[in-house]
């Protein structure tokens, strides 16, 4: 069967859009940390600085000993961190303050590594 030339760009564009819209079918976290098994409130933070598995792991380590944090899932490709937390023990603002706090280095200096761009 003969195919018009214009078919080619159309199927290229269709496949790119198809791939883009199919992404939600494969959503998996970059890192998953569960500090507790109980359920809690959810908050999604878009965080500048969460860009790969290493930075995501460092990011979650900031909350290792913070009371009220039940679990964290990070999505590096979308610079996203989803917190499950106990709202009676910690607030969204406190979660944000922790991530945006300057990180101290061995040489005595400190630097802000993560910056919250939005909260849902």
Q: Which stretch binds another protein (CB under 8 A): 6-14, 35-43, 89-97, 108-116?
A: 6-14
For residues 27 to 46, the per-residue mask of contacts with another protein, x marking binding by CB under 8 A and - elsewhere, is xxxxxx-------------x
Closest residue by Cα to residue 33 from 70, 67, 58 = 70
Least CB distance from residue 87 to another protein, whole Å? 27
CA distance 11 to 30: 31
Q: What size, in residues, is the chain?
A: 120
Least CB distance from residue 25 to another protein, whole Å? 7
- In the complex with another protein, the residue whose CB is nearer, 67 or 77, is 77
Neighbours of 36 (CB within 10 A): 13
Q: Are 65 and 76 in contact (CB under 8 A)?
A: no
What is the secondary structure of 18-44 as a DSSP string?
Answer: HHHHHGGGG---SEEEES-SS--EEEE
Among positions 53-72, residues that touch another protein (CB under 8 A) are 53-54
- In the complex with another protein, the residue whose CB is nearer, 49 or 62, is 49
By CB under 8 A, name the binding residues for another protein. Answer: 1-9, 11-13, 15-16, 18-20, 22-32, 46, 51-54, 75-79
């Amino acid at each position: 069967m003969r195919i018009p030339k214009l078919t080619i760009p159309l199927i290229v564009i269709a496949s790119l859009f198809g791939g883009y819209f199919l992404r939600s079918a494969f959503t998996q976290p970059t890192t998953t940390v569960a500090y507790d098994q109980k359920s809690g409130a959810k908050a999604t933070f878009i965080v500048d600085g969460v860009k790969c598995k290493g930075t995501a792991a460092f990011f979650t380590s900031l909350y290792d000993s913070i009371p009220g944090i039940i679990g964290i899932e990070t999505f590096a490709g979308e610079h996203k961190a989803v917190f499950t937390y106990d709202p009676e023990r910690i607030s969204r603002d406190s979660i944000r303050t922790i991530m945006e706090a300057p990180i101290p280095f061995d040489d005595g200096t400190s630097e802000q590594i993560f910056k919250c761009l939005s909260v849902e």
